[in-house]
Structure 1
Amino acid sequence: MSSLSYPPKPRPGDRVAVVSPSAGLPGLFPHVYELGLHRLREEYRLEPEEYPTTRIMGADPRDRARDLTAAFADPTVTAVLATVGGDDLITVTPHLDDAVLRANPKPYFGYSDNTNVLNHLHRLGIVGYHGGSVLVHLGRPGALHPLTADSLRAALFGSDWYDLTPAAEWGDEPGDWNDPGSLAVEPVMFPGAGWHWQGPATVVTGRTWGGNLEVLHWLLAADRVAPAESLHGSIFLIETSEELPPAVEVYRMLRNLGERGLLAGFPAALVGRAKAWEFSRRLTPQEKTAYAGEQRAAVTRAFAEYAPDALLVFDVDFGHTDPQLIIPYGGEVRVDAVSRRISVRY
């Protein structure tokens, strides 16, 4: 844990890598991708450098790894942004050149399937950034969400402590990327109810580890997770995907982490707001509320069994819902249950 270090930050005007180590969706939805690139240039004054596999669906894992390694190796590139997630990045990370990554640490931004890369960098001692998708967040219909925009700007360019803000409104029903006209329409949003705190009235400070729960489970099966004792003291990040895993599976995955000895070592956990709607599963508002409640109960049950004294904060906006706050992965976080405040150091 103590060997983790923050990479140098970019400055406005710099070149940044834009890569698709998971799915090459920019090739299928160029209108969304180009909007994200436009905002990267106009809102953040960064010049995106695209790599060969960025727009290619089903590119060979070795080629995707070659692009990601090249992005770290390029001395003119000062940060690396993933375009989107996917489901097979676990086949890419074994082909990365770790010597190059260690010698050229850079801020890496991604979430969902990019948990593979964030965990890989963590094991190399490099702090990454959970969040920030060129398609999903920079390409958001209507406009950038102000909380996402501010958090991403602070994470890209800043190194200080930053207070996360509970979303006054949130959404999990995105526009249809198959319809270019949908980019002009703001997403459906719902009133926010703030964060939900459970556990002792204490203050916990530590470095983060975790990410998308389904991907973490794959990583455990592939033996790509550090020994439990080396992660003790971490603040655990948990978020679930658009596949809407049932509560019983969320519990079982966490139970498996508990049996591995991981949960007992986490003094606190930040739990992302549960995404509860997808085009193939259009849950009603009542069904969405029930789904989120069942997931919260599953997480609570697992921690009650393996880490009963842990501090839990639910509905933190860092997962598959909108807005998305950037969380340093392996970086410092302070969870203050007394003042109900979460601060991250970018």
Structure 2
Amino acid sequence: MTDMELISPRKAAPGDKVAVVSPSFAAPGFAPAVHEQAMERLEEVTGLVPVEYPTTRRLGATPQDRAADLNAAFGDPEIRAVLATIGGEDQITVIPHLDADLVRADPKPFLGHSDNTNLLSWLWTHGVAGYYGGSTQVHLGPGPAVDPVHAASLRAALLTGERLEITEPGEAEDFGVDWQDPAALTSFGDREPTEPWTWAGPERSVTGRTWGGCLDVLPWILTAGRFPTDPAVVDGGVLLLETSEELPPAREVGFVVRSLGERGLLDAVDAVVVARPPTTSFDVELTPAERAEKRAEQRDVVIETVQRYNPEAVIVVGVPFGHTRPQWILPYGGMLTVDGAEQRVWADYA
């Protein structure tokens, strides 16, 4: 990346404390049993000790109070990582109250997805890499166990710093069991077999730093002016794109990707990695064929739009990160290798 050096915070060690915060929606206050199981599993999987903050379970906390918890966590030398419980829809109002000096004085990894794109991108602009994924309420608390790919990438992000191949688990769910149902603690949602990833662009290998995140959130960041004006900051990088449980139509997804192209971001990056999108929710039911059609519509519009602006970009669609589960946690500001010749993806968690 041009003139963009990012720090990869040092790893934690078993027994270290990690902050568990709710920068957006306080899901632990809504479903405490799922949260408490998530905390038990966090310790079991990593050996780390979770520390809650005043707004971790407080529904309706102000942006200022949520920011105060983040500042406290980033400023505490005993805290060696910060994990979000879940996303939400108003983290953009928290960002102005954060203290960048605290982050730069003692960089530590932040893990989250969805609305946490706001915080990850803010850290990125201040020179600190994080990880896209790992929201505890979604990926640790529900179900009979932690998915193996999630556990592996969680340990790599927090503890070991390994280089791992991002593989396809072979099944996926769009959403889990209602957290108010006791079965949420013991059962996954409805899972179905996945289709192969789709590759497009030249058959070459690209290794670069990542930026991007949830397509619902990226326009907010850009509209608020919280990203460098020069697209050269992502030169040679890898753009991560995924969509949320809001289930935006393919046409709207294309509009957002087109806007990224007009901003010069698509031309600057060397690769684009697109997640398998959710196509159903508690309120939207589709047949397997209809779900496959929705995924194909989004895939086609993203590939067509990216190639319109950058025919040399290596593109892969269907990677299991973001809002479906099982979920890989991916570096955000760290290094990702997208190999269009071998059709493989590798993540460096150093």
Same fold, judged at TM 0.5 (above): yes
* Alpha-carbon contact 1:208-1:236 (below 8 Å) kept: yes
Amino acid at match of 1:40: L
* Alpha-carbon contact 2:142-2:187 (below 8 Å) kept: no
Equivalent position of 1:179 in the other structure: 181
1:343 is aligned, of 307, 328, 346, to: 346
Equivalent position of 2:32 in the other structure: 30
Give the alignment of 1:255-266 within 5 angstroms.
Answer: 255-266=258-269
Q: Please, which moves more after superposition, 189-198 or 68-77?
A: 189-198
Amino acid at match of 1:225: F
Give the alignment of 1:93-132 within 5 angstroms.
Answer: 93-132=95-134
Structure 1 alignment gaps of length 5 or more = none
Deviation at 1:159, TM superposition (A): 2.0
TM-score (norm 1): 0.98
Amino acid at match of 1:193: E
Deviation at 1:304, TM superposition (A): 2.2
Equivalent position of 1:324 in the other structure: 327
* Alpha-carbon contact 1:204-1:335 (below 8 Å) kept: yes
Structure 2 alignment gaps of length 5 or more = none
1:276 is aligned, of 274, 279, 302, to: 279
Cα distance between partner residues in 2 of 1:155 and 1:343: 14
Equivalent position of 1:89 in the other structure: 91
Q: Please, which moves more after superposition, 281-290 or 58-67?
A: 281-290
Cα distance between partner residues in 1 of 2:158 and 2:246: 29
Equivalent position of 2:15 in the other structure: 13
Cα distance between partner residues in 2 of 1:182 and 1:208: 33
Cα distance between partner residues in 2 of 1:291 and 1:342: 24
Give the alignment of 1:1-346 within 5 angstroms.
Answer: 1=1, 2-227=4-229, 228-346=231-349
Cα distance between partner residues in 2 of 1:169 and 1:160: 24
* Alpha-carbon contact 2:21-2:70 (below 8 Å) kept: yes
Q: Please, which moves more after superposition, 221-230 or 205-214?
A: 221-230
Over residues 251-301 of structure 1, what are the superposed CA-to-partner deviations in whole Å (9 max), with x where a residue is unaligned? Answer: 001111111111111111000001111011122212111111110111012
Q: Please, which moves more after superposition, 276-285 or 89-98?
A: 276-285
Deviation at 1:173, TM superposition (A): 3.2
Cα distance between partner residues in 2 of 1:154 and 1:116: 23
Q: Please, which moves more after superposition, 47-56 or 164-173?
A: 164-173
Amino acid at match of 2:263: R
Deviation at 1:154, TM superposition (A): 1.5
Over residues 114-153 of structure 1, what are the superposed CA-to-partner deviations in whole Å (9 max), with x where a residue is unaligned? Answer: 0001000000110100010110001131111111111111
* Alpha-carbon contact 1:167-1:194 (below 8 Å) kept: no
Does the residue aligned with 1:173 lie in a helix, a strand or coil? coil
* Alpha-carbon contact 1:142-1:187 (below 8 Å) kept: no
Deviation at 1:12, TM superposition (A): 1.0
Deviation at 1:194, TM superposition (A): 3.0
> Sequence identity of aligned pairs in percent?
49
* Alpha-carbon contact 1:271-1:314 (below 8 Å) kept: yes
Cα distance between partner residues in 1 of 2:75 and 2:249: 41
Cα distance between partner residues in 2 of 1:102 and 1:203: 32
Amino acid at match of 1:208: T
Amino acid at match of 1:187: G
Cα distance between partner residues in 1 of 2:105 and 2:314: 36
TM-score (norm 2): 0.96
Cα distance between partner residues in 1 of 2:185 and 2:164: 30
Q: Please, which moves more after superposition, 191-200 or 35-44?
A: 191-200
